[in-house]
Amino acid sequence: MAFLCVDIGATNTVIGTGKQDFETVEKYSTRYFFENTDELVEAVVRESSHELEDLEHVAVAAAGPIDRAKGEFYPPNLSKESFNLREMLSGYGDVKMMNDATAAVAGEYYYGRNSAEDMIYLTISSGIGAGVIVDGEILEGWGGNLGEVGHMEIGKDGVKCGCGGCDHWEAYSAGDRMPLMAEQLFNRNYKDSREIFEKQEIGDRTAEKVIDKMQECNARGFENLINLFNPEVIWVGGAVAQNHFEKVVEEPFEKVEDGLMNQEPIVEENSLGEEAVVHGLKAACKGEFEL
């Protein structure tokens, strides 16, 4: 039995294939992946020890809402309204679909360095989302779309969110939204979130205020997750968190204590890095859990 796992992120897509474990894992830009799907899948399989015909299980995760009945994915950050992932990949085997943060938490649970029975995987990247395991059960919710925690109302300053809402966690802390928050609240233009972090390092007062707002919201976000799900471990991944772990995760986490009704969990950088999602998909292909 060979499997094919595809993690479609807002920016990058990771494709992995193997039999017992991954033999090949490659990363491409998501736009390029959509334009050259078959070519890229075939190239990845050619690098492994099996043939296309040996593929039996296919699992795909996407950074955005999915409709499993139709096989559709509705990307929040790409120009097209929806993609039928099942149609795109059905030539390779039986296609399973998952939310990406849910796949990531499954990856950590089955193959990561800590298999606590109660854990959350939180991604802070161009958006914010969570995958949740409670009592050893992967929570998927209706249609598999549980975990849109980035759209919890957390701020108080009227900052617009990409979804059309207001004061959501993402509006303050997602990589794509931080420059817009800086513009709306402090009337200052930064070209991206990286520039805000860089300027804060060299004493830019506005950048400091932007980082303070982000940290305040991350502290509230952590409190909400802990009070809701009572995790033993919170794994944090996603490019913004990985690149600025101290500022995005550790410093805000020091401020959560006052708002907690239950025990403080361990908070760490996720152990499988950007391959957590494909590892979770591999677990689904290998039948570790039912979708």
Longest distance between any two alpha carbons in the chain, whole Å? 59
d(CA 168, CA 146): 16
Q: 193-201 vs 205-229: helix axis angle to the nearest 10?
A: 120
The helix (H) or strand (E) run that includes residue 212 is: helix 205-229
d(CA 82, CA 90): 17
Cβ–Cβ under 8 Å, residues 39 and 26: no
Q: Which stretch binds Zn ion (CB under 5 A): 150-158, 194-202, 241-249, 266-274?
A: 150-158
List 57, 86, 96, 168, residue binding Zn ion (CB under 5 A): 168
- Write out the DSSP string of 172-200: HHSTTTHHHHHHHHH----SSHHHHHHHH
Q: Does 143 bind Zn ion (CB under 5 A)?
A: no
Q: Does 8 bind Zn ion (CB under 5 A)?
A: no
Nearer to Zn ion, 48 or 218 (CB): 218
Cβ–Cβ under 8 Å, residues 155 and 171: yes
Q: Which stretch binds Zn ion (CB under 5 A): 140-148, 153-161, 195-203, 225-233?
A: 153-161
The count of other CB atoms within 10 Å of the CB of residue 290 is: 8
Q: Which stretch binds Zn ion (CB under 5 A): 34-42, 47-55, 148-156, 215-223?
A: 148-156
Q: How near is the Cβ of 277 to Zn ion at its closest, in Å?
A: 22
Q: Does 160 bind Zn ion (CB under 5 A)?
A: no
Q: Tell me, by CB under 5 A, how many residues bind Zn ion.
A: 5
Q: Which stretch binds Zn ion (CB under 5 A): 96-104, 136-144, 155-163, 194-202?
A: 155-163
List 52, 116, 163, 291, residue binding Zn ion (CB under 5 A): 163
User: Which 3 state secondary structure label does DSSP give 140?
Assistant: coil
- Chain centre to alpha carbon of residue 52: 28
Q: How many helices (H) and strands (E) does the chain have?
A: 12, 13
State the binding string over 93-132 for Zn ion (x if CB under 5 A, else -): ----------------------------------------
The identity of residue 19, as a single letter, is: K
State the binding string over 225-244 for Zn ion (x if CB under 5 A, else -): --------------------
- Write out the DSSP string of 224-258: HHHHHH--SEEEEESHHHHHTHIIIIIHHHTT-GG
Give residue for tokens 């161009």.
126
Q: How near is the Cβ of 165 to Zn ion at its closest, in Å?
A: 4
Nearer to Zn ion, 16 or 147 (CB): 147
List 91, 158, 165, 287, residue binding Zn ion (CB under 5 A): 165
Q: How near is the Cβ of 152 to Zn ion at its closest, in Å?
A: 9
State the binding string over 35-54 for Zn ion (x if CB under 5 A, else -): --------------------
Q: Does 161 bind Zn ion (CB under 5 A)?
A: yes
Nearer to Zn ion, 96 or 177 (CB): 177
The binding site for Zn ion (CB under 5 A) comprises 151, 161, 163, 165, 168
